[in-house]
Amino acid sequence: MGDSAGALLAVSLMKHIKMPVDAIAVKIPTGKVPKAAILISPWLNLNPKYTGSYARNSYSDKITFRLCKITSEAYQPDRSLRLLPEVSPYDTKEEDWKGVLPSEMLVVAGERETMFDDIVSWTLAAKVNPSCLLVEPMGIHDSFTLETRNLETYKENYSYIQTVAFLRRLLSEARPKPEWL
């Protein structure tokens, strides 16, 4: 589970498990796909352009296009490295994701977030089941955590409700049934 840059790290880790990057010293056993993943407002494109949702939603979201550019360059100053799919998984093809992602996924995107088009495009390219994409109406980037004032408003948050339902379903399926049933 990860939100924003944490979701980028989760996606990169899942990809690394399937297709290890030689430059990464820590070796993770390959062939194991996580059981599930929750990606909240995943930051997938480290080379954004001021088009689509970056232009359309830059004034309605807390994360502006300018901030996306600045943080992308801070995260990886070398533009040629920012273009690599291991660093910026947005601009990839279907075959790059075969066997990488778990079948149980929840990808949350706010309808009014700057990265909205990137999230939707990536889910299509990665062949993420469309039912796994949760679009929060009027939601902004990471509204799951940023638009919460207290516990009561948090419990009313659309993404929170859907994420908890997803986790409850997964946990109930994972729980062994007692022998007496």
pLDDT tens digits for range 112-148: 999 999 999 999 999 999 999 999 988 888 876 766 6
Question: How far apart (Å, rounded) are the C-alpha atoms in residues 85 and 79?
Answer: 12
Structure tokens at 67: 């901030």
**Residue pair 130/122 in contact by the 8 Å Cβ criterion:** no
Report angle CA 98, 53, 158 to the nearest 5 degrees: 75
Q: What is the pLDDT of residue 130?
A: 93
Identify the weakest region by mean pLDDT among 6-20, 35-49, 119-133, 153-167.
153-167
Per-residue pLDDT band for 64 (boundaries 50, 70, 90) equals very high
**CATH superfamily, domain at 2-174:** Alpha/Beta hydrolase fold, catalytic domain (3.40.50.1820)
Average pLDDT, the chain: 86
Question: How far apart (Å, rounded) are the C-alpha atoms in residues 118 and 106?
Answer: 16
Helix (H, G, I), strand (E, B) or coil at 45: coil
